[in-house]
Amino acid sequence: MKVTFVSRHEGVERRFELQGNSAIIGRGREDLVVEIDLVWDARVSRPHARVWREGDELWIEDLQSKRGTVVDGVELRGRSTRLGPGTIVTVGDTQLTVEMEVPAKESKPDAFQATEAPVEIVPDSNAALNPADALVPAAKSTDLEQRLAQLCEIPILIAAEPRFDRRLQLVVDELVSLIPGAARGALLLTDPATDKLLLSASAPAGQAAVSLRLARRALETREAFIWHEADEPGVAHPSVLRHRIATGMYAPVRWGDEVLGVLCADHPDRAARFAPGDLALLRVVAQYAGMAVVRHRTAEALRRQSDFTNRLFGGRFPPRVREELMRHAMADSLTLGTRQSPVTVLISDIRGFTRLSEQLGPQRLSDLLNDYFPLLIEAIFRHGGSIDRFVGDAIFAVFGSPEPDANQEENAVRAALDMQAAARALSALRASRGAGTCEIGVGVDCGTVLHGFIGNAERMEFAVVGDAANYASRYCAGAGPGQILISSAVNARVWNLVEAEPVVIQTKHEGDVHAHLVRGLVER
């Protein structure tokens, strides 16, 4: 019987006249002989399908190809089918049409050979020759190679998938595709809070067939095993009966000493149990699943840590400074220690806070602070200031640290004016609703101080220490409701920008201290 395959790909027609008993369809390489070499079609697997003779009949089977083999519109999955004259076989983007001719007297050559072009087999000089290899049928050899290639691709596919749930589904899909005798598969992960097994993926999707008893056995023994209904004749297990599990495999999903869940595969009607080689593949894929779970948990932990660090920095520093600090923190180059340089310190607090707290009570006082503080902090950030610390109703802010600022005194005064404007606007709004209101006083001083990050990796604080911080506190204490007091040193640097009048405040330790009461910006 003369058999010819006519290939058509992108308008180009080629003919393969075959003789012999079997042939491989695919794309050849140095270590793989392919008789029907469709090298031009990248969607064709290396060994894609096999055709063979049985008497006067021609048969075809898919060799676990990546994209499958379609015969007259029907996809082959784990089975073979007979070919006849005019049958159309689709592999990748190539169509193969079967032509069969029975001559009057047919000879049967020993070799099955494609006549389009000779194939030169180049032996691999680095490979050791094994005489037993000659006893392995070509189809089984290529099937093993294909399964190993698919197994090696699974980690690559997992790494390329951004969504965690899809990674888990991919693991189960690849498992069922990898093991010919597996009709269904499922992945269950242990909930750390409740120790329950949660269904994370199944194939076919939404059709999980799992024996919880067998899954728990895999968890407790930490060993993979093959189970068959013949192992327990006459014993009825509800989940086994409900899902019609005839034979199955279960493997713990592990990473190091931690058991994360269970991966399983089964068949509802399979008379024979799975082979040891199938169990070995299941164990490898379970390890890939463990890798995916641990990678996800590590990424989530890093994200939470990053969010916490961002909140830690974000609550104290303006956006530009925050980004720079985050960059140094992630690169482990954040400098611990203090330096001495000029800064400007701004301190604000609420006037009559003790009386106000008695009037409002804890909950209403908390609501008031939650309304005022974000607006005051935003005003500080808007002008490049950083938050040194909060003490009750007081805000300690610094300008010129941790990053230098040539206009730090002006920025501090502008921030103080914005803070008072924001407090007045919010008080008017709250008063219209009948809610409690407050007023703040602000003090500003400048000078050379010690400032920077102090502590260690376990406990790190941003601190400002020096006379400017102490005197800013005095000016803040001397400021009345809605007032801003600045030191003479600050006034000397902003005198042409603000309208201010000299005042004298009394302090407990320093006596009379000269200050300037800021009325507003100079109108230009």
Contact in structure between 91 and 44 (CB atoms under 8 Å):
yes
Region 409-428: mean pLDDT is: 96
Residues 137-175 have pLDDT tens digits of 434 446 677 778 888 888 888 888 888 999 999 999 999
Q: Determine the Cα–Cα distance for residues 439 and 484; give it in Å rounded to an integer.
A: 12
- Distance from chain centroid for Cα 276: 34
**Has residue 312 got a pLDDT over 70?**
no
Contact in structure between 209 and 227 (CB atoms under 8 Å):
no
The distance between the two most distant Cα atoms of the chain, rounded to a whole number of Å, is 127
- Give me the pLDDT at residue 138, please: 39
**Has residue 68 got a pLDDT over 90?**
no
* Residue 213, both tokens: 């008893």
**Has residue 420 got a pLDDT over 70?**
yes
Q: Which of these, 198, 411, 382, 189, lies nearest to 286 by C-alpha position? A: 189
Region 504-513: mean pLDDT is: 84
Q: Determine the Cα–Cα distance for residues 110 and 131; give it in Å rounded to an integer.
A: 21
Residues 29-39 have pLDDT tens digits of 777 788 899 98
Question: Which of 92-96, 290-294, 325-329 has the lowest average pLDDT?
Answer: 325-329
Residues 180-204 have pLDDT tens digits of 888 899 999 998 878 889 999 998 8
Residues sharing a CB contact under 8 Å with residue 121, sequence separation 6 or more, in sequence order: 33
Instruction: Name the pTM for this structure.
Output: 0.43
Q: Which of these, 428, 386, 426, 431, lies nearest to 405 by C-alpha position? A: 386
- Distance from chain centroid for Cα 502: 60
3-class secondary-structure state, position 202: strand
Residues 488-501 have pLDDT tens digits of 999 999 999 999 99
Region 47-73: mean pLDDT is: 87
Region 119-131: mean pLDDT is: 37
Residues sharing a CB contact under 8 Å with residue 403, sequence separation 6 or more, in sequence order: 320, 321, 324
Q: Determine the Cα–Cα distance for residues 352 and 331; give it in Å rounded to an integer.
A: 45
Instruction: Name the band, by pLDDT with cuts 50, 70 and 90, for residue 106.
Output: very low
Q: Determine the Cα–Cα distance for residues 192 and 267; give it in Å rounded to an integer.
A: 30
Residues 331-355 have pLDDT tens digits of 554 555 567 889 999 999 999 888 8
Q: Between the CA of residue 256 and those of 6, 156, 260, 299, what are the distances in Å?
A: 53, 21, 10, 18
- Give me the pLDDT at residue 215, please: 92
Over 272-340, what HEC string results? CCCCHHHHHHHHHHHHHHHHHHHHHHHHHHHHHHHHHHHHHHHCCCCHHHHHHHHHHHHCCCCCCEEEE
**Has residue 224 got a pLDDT over 60?**
yes
Question: What is the rounded (10 degree) CA torsion for 301, 305, 307, 308?
Answer: 140
* Residue 106, both tokens: 């047919």
Q: Which of these, 420, 419, 380, 379, lies nearest to 400 by C-alpha position? A: 380
Q: Which of these, 156, 152, 157, 185, lies nearest to 170 by C-alpha position? A: 157
Q: Determine the Cα–Cα distance for residues 265 and 449; give it in Å rounded to an integer.
A: 69
Q: Which of these, 380, 317, 344, 316, lies nearest to 466 by C-alpha position? A: 344
Q: Which residues face 460 on adjacent strands? A: 455
The separation between the first and the last C-alpha atoms of the chain, rounded to the nearest angstrom, is 103
Q: Which of these, 385, 399, 411, 406, lies nearest to 343 by C-alpha position? A: 399
